[in-house]
Amino acid sequence: MSADGNAREDKLAIIEVIQNWALWRDGGDWERLRGAFHPEGTMTATWFSGPADEFIAKASAAWDAGVRGGHFIGGSSVRLNGDKALAETRITLLLRDRLDDTEVDVTCHGRFYDRFERHEGEWRIRSRHVIYEKDRIDPVTPGMAVKLDDATLRRFPEGYRHLAYVQTRNGLEVAADRPTLRSAELGRLYREGNAWLG
């Protein structure tokens, strides 16, 4: 197979891991989800930053407690350098929850920014960050009012403030410095990723 053919196969394999991650995460298939990560893999999101195994344990506990969310996966762009790769993927995060007596849907648009490494012949996620672009909150029942505390809402960046609001109300500690559009954090994420890829 040509070098171009090998690169194409590698990119397809990486995209398959990205798609499987969403299905396994949203379906509670924790063992297969663990296999999507490199043994030293890490995960960073609004409410978590640390080892992938710890993320999976916390996600599993939330699943058991009845928390439900979803990840809609869009197109991916992959750059390769030997046994390393960077992948950026369009995503939509979907969360259904309650605020006081009102059932709500939170929708957050963004991107996964992944470092991949080949481990024992297979592509695995070495680190995953989420880039948050914009979000919104809507009542599930049309006409219901959603009342938000403005001070809590404004503690967080525009890209994920509604998501963070609901997560904070559920007792999670949500970081206020995750990457958003045109943010310093996003610039740093890209610089560090490019340097790592070499």
Q: Concatenate the DSSP letters of all residues of 91-118 into one string.
A: EEEEEEEEETTEEEEEEEEEEEEEEEEE
Whole-number pLDDT of residue 2:
56
* Backbone angles phi and psi of 87, in degrees to 5: -130, 135
Residue 26 tokens, joined: 């949203």
Residue 43's pLDDT is what?
Answer: 98
In order along its 198 residues, the chain shows pLDDT tens digits of: 556 779 999 999 999 999 999 999 999 999 999 999 999 999 999 999 999 999 999 999 999 998 889 999 999 999 999 999 999 999 999 999 999 889 999 999 999 999 999 999 999 999 999 999 999 999 999 999 899 999 999 999 999 999 999 999 999 999 999 999 999 999 999 999 999 999
Q: How far apart are CA 176 and CA 139, in angstroms?
A: 25
Please state, in angstroms and rounded to a whole number, the distance separating the CA atoms of residues 38 and 34. 8
Q: How far apart are CA 173 and CA 97, in angstroms?
A: 17
Cα separation of the two ends of the chain: 25
- The whole-angstrom separation of Cα 27 and Cα 70 is 9
Output the pLDDT for position 1: 52
Rounded Cα–Cα distance for residues 109 and 94 (Å) = 9
Among residues 125, 90, 94, the alpha carbon closest in space to that of 110 is found at 90
Number of domains observed in the structure of the chain: 1
Domain containing 115: what range? 3-197
Cβ-based neighbour number of residue 3 at 10 Å: 7
pLDDT recorded at residue 188: 98
pLDDT at 102: 93
Do residues 101 and 118 touch, judged by C-beta distance below 8 A? no
Whole-number pLDDT of residue 80: 98
- d(CA 131, CA 32) in angstroms, rounded, equals 24
For residue 136, CA distances in Å to 46, 133, 146, 164, 167 come to 15, 11, 11, 11, 13
Give the strand pairing for 49-51 and 68-81. Answer: unpaired
CATH number of the domain within which 69 lies: 3.10.450.50
Nearest to 166 by CA among 63, 113, 94: 94
